[in-house]
Chains A and B, each alone.
Chain A
């Protein structure tokens, strides 16, 4: 009995150690995590925009739980005229944003779409993105097919947890 319990504990610890996957079940309810059989998308977020803003970007982490390499091939949304996949090329301190045809999600790996790097790009926004909005976005993967996510709109200066000083800058 004791050994079984120990094993269970170890298993739980091991699962918790996998980073983020542990909260799949209850996070699904509030839309933070979307999961297909093979692909898990966590914490999709975007930044609040100004009234006249035409562009926005969404970030998230994508985990490939399947045995095959996969690739994000497109994204679509109602919020913008065009929804594209982009990356940033850091060229000697110069930031060059470029459209990409796909974003590779290798088997067993977690890929972060994050500020300064890969992102889902909204071009010609149809309306202002307000703090707290939930934006439905459809991601399409080569193997896993379509995955619906809800992108949460955070503060304009939000960093999405990539900085130690805290996630969301308070609104003034």
Chain B
């Protein structure tokens, strides 16, 4: 007769313990992330209007940066769809303080014209950047983004997919990384973090 309530009590205790652990972990992770990370390196690319841009040139603005490629069938559309929903949920004031960037890690196929059409499908504010292979590689290296061609079609060498990291970087006006969001983050979480930072 006593075993059930005892079990029940232990179960509750265990549950609280797990929840406490979870909260502690989350707070630790948040505190760790909150320290702004200075960026070593930079980039020099062209934007979707054909204008030369650099990472330094964006100082004074908040940036939301995602690296991908326009031939990407799933991972990039998922990430950009999330970014679009994050942007749509921001206040107008906040939206004007942030520049969302999509940087190509496949510049051989991603022309200026094409990257513009592609980014406009997701959000009018999303700005596509591309460049030479060397320029794109430098940009990726600056943010620690991995990419490599994979699954090249033997019949057509221009037909391939690209393995790549799927992180979204939140950069502050001093050019430091404030947050690194992993693949397919929770939209509300990202939006709250941005809104909180922009209204400090």
Contacts and interface: CB of A to CB of B under 8 A. Distances in A.
11 contacts: A47-B77, A54-B71, A56-B73, A57-B73, A97-B73, A115-B77, A116-B78, A158-B81, A163-B82, A164-B187, A171-B121
Contacts of A55: 71-73, 161
Interface string A152-166: 000111110001111
A156 B122 contact: yes
Interface in B165-200: 165-167, 182-184, 187-188
A124 to B, nearest CB: 6
Contacts of A57: 73-74
A121 to B, nearest CB: 6
Interface of A: 47-48, 50-57, 88, 90, 93-99, 115-116, 119, 121-124, 155-159, 163-166, 169-172
A55 B156 CA distance: 14
Task: For chain B, give the interface size range.
Answer: 35 or more
B150 A96 contact: yes
Contact of B183 (A48, A56, A93, A157): A93
Interface stretch (B24-32, B49-57, B112-120): B112-120
Report, nearest first, the 10 A-B pairs whose CB atoms are least far apart.
A157-B81, A156-B121, A55-B73, A57-B73, A96-B163, A115-B78, A95-B75, A165-B187, A57-B74, A50-B118
B121 A88 contact: no
A97 B165 CA distance: 12
Contacts of B182: 93
B159 to A, nearest CB: 6
Nearest to B125: A172
B60 interface: no
B41 interface: no
Interface in B124-165: 124, 146, 150-151, 153, 156, 159, 161, 163-165
Contact of B74 (A48, A93, A115, A172): A115
Given A116-B78, A157-B80, A165-B187, A94 B151 contact: no
A90 B146 CA distance: 13
A157 B85 contact: yes
A95 B77 contact: no
A93 B165 contact: yes
B70 interface: yes
B188 A172 contact: no
Contacts of A155: 81
Nearest to A95: B75
Contacts of A52: 70, 114, 117
